[in-house]
Amino acid sequence: MIPDYQAVMPPLLEFGGDGAPHVLVDTINALADRFELSPEEREELLPSGKQRRFENRVRWARTYLGKAGLLEASARGVFKVTSRGLDLLRTTSGPLNVGHLEQYPEFIEFKNTTRVKAGAPSADRPETPEESLETNYESLRAALSEDLLQRVKLASPQFFEELVVDLLVAMGYGGSRRDAGRAVGRSGDDGIDGIINEDKLGLDVVYIQAKRWQGPVGRPVVQAFAGSLEGHRARKGVLITTSQFTPDAREYVERIEKKIVLVDGERLAQLMIDHDIGVADIATYRIKRVDLDYFPEAVQKRPTVGEPA
């Protein structure tokens, strides 16, 4: 199991206990070995996919120890233990968490700074600021996805046809919306069937079937769709539903020669969010970090408030 950032702090401080400078990247690998993390745990990413989870926790442990004056940056990506950190190692053993850091006035000042108060560290807060932010984002996204799907299920068949066209065009299929609209929406039987260009030049086509089934969609429906592809001499297809696909339906498309992509209700809602179909921005937050390439080496020793080094 990946340790939280507070569990990382004691071995991180001990790792630098020799007083020599240490490269943070090498330290992260050494700590991963110490915690006996599996290859999968070492590579596990935050929900954003931008950073490895364990690396993020080590960097924040490094930041908090730095704010307490126990570690200091000696160069870009390099740190060393301070005399205060060495004193703590000599006099203290056992767990080390945010509560212990509050004995240092520099850490209290950092914690109470207005700019970081909303995400200030605490002993009962196991998540790093990025993890907390992304957890909240995922919760908001899940609620939005559920709301979207319910509204799609309540909409008219005609609206559903238009929604699918809008989504496919936003994803880059079908050329213009006018072209896609002519190609899709031919059956009108509580769903749509049609052929749409895979790319704007029409080099290949994709057969589309979308219906708002109430119950799970099983293998017979998918098998019938595959037969329709054969009848149209099509090699690729997308089957869209507002419900779910059964395991045997998913297993079936993995075993056949034709390429069929199954899009269930949950994935449909996620694609709508990703491509701005039926959703609108309410706020945008740009999370920034210090650009170390901008500053000369001499001024990189001073840590920046709120930024993991």
Residue 306: the pLDDT is: 46
Q: pLDDT by residue for the chain (309 residues), tens digit each?
A: 999 999 999 999 999 888 899 999 999 999 999 999 999 999 999 887 878 999 999 999 998 999 999 999 877 788 999 999 999 998 887 778 888 899 999 998 888 764 555 556 666 677 888 888 888 888 888 889 999 998 898 888 888 888 888 898 888 887 666 666 665 655 544 445 677 777 767 677 788 888 888 889 999 999 988 888 887 777 888 999 999 999 999 999 999 988 999 999 999 999 999 999 999 988 777 778 777 677 776 555 544 444 555
Q: Identity (one letter) of the amino acid at 32?
A: A
DSSP letter, residue 262: E
Domain contains 56:
yes
With beta carbons less than 8 A apart as the criterion, state whether 102 and 108 touch.
yes
pLDDT at residue number 101: 92
Q: Do 2 and 53 touch, CB atoms closer than 8 A? A: yes
Q: Could you tell me if 13 and 109 lie in one domain? A: yes
Whether the CB-CB separation of 56 and 128 falls below 8 Å is answered with yes
Q: What CATH number has the domain bearing residue 221?
A: 3.40.1340.10
Domain range for 13 is 5-127+288-299
What pLDDT is attached to residue 191?
44
Q: Which letter does DSSP use for residue 126 in this model?
A: -
The total number of residues shown for the chain amounts to 309
Q: How many domains does the chain have?
A: 2
Q: Rounded to whole angstroms, how far apart are CA atoms 290 and 306?
A: 10
Q: Which among 73, 66, 61, 65 is positioned nearest to 34, based on CA atoms? A: 61
Residues 100 and 155 both lie in one domain: no
| Strand-strand pairing, 78-81 and 236-241 | unpaired
The answer to the question of residue 41 being in a domain is yes
User: Position 297: which residue type?
Assistant: E
Residues 66 and 156 in one domain: no
Distances (CA, A) of 112 to 118, 128, 193, 267: 9, 17, 59, 42
Alpha carbons 253 and 223: distance in angstroms, whole number:
8
Residue 72 lies in a domain: yes
Q: Is 104 helix (H, G, I), strand (E, B) or coil?
A: coil
Task: Tell me the CA distances in angstroms from 230 to 13, 58, 221, 239, 255, one per residue in order.
Answer: 64, 54, 14, 15, 16
Residues 185 and 262 grouped into a single domain: yes
On whether both 90 and 181 belong to a single domain, the answer is no
What is the predicted pLDDT for the residue at 271? 95
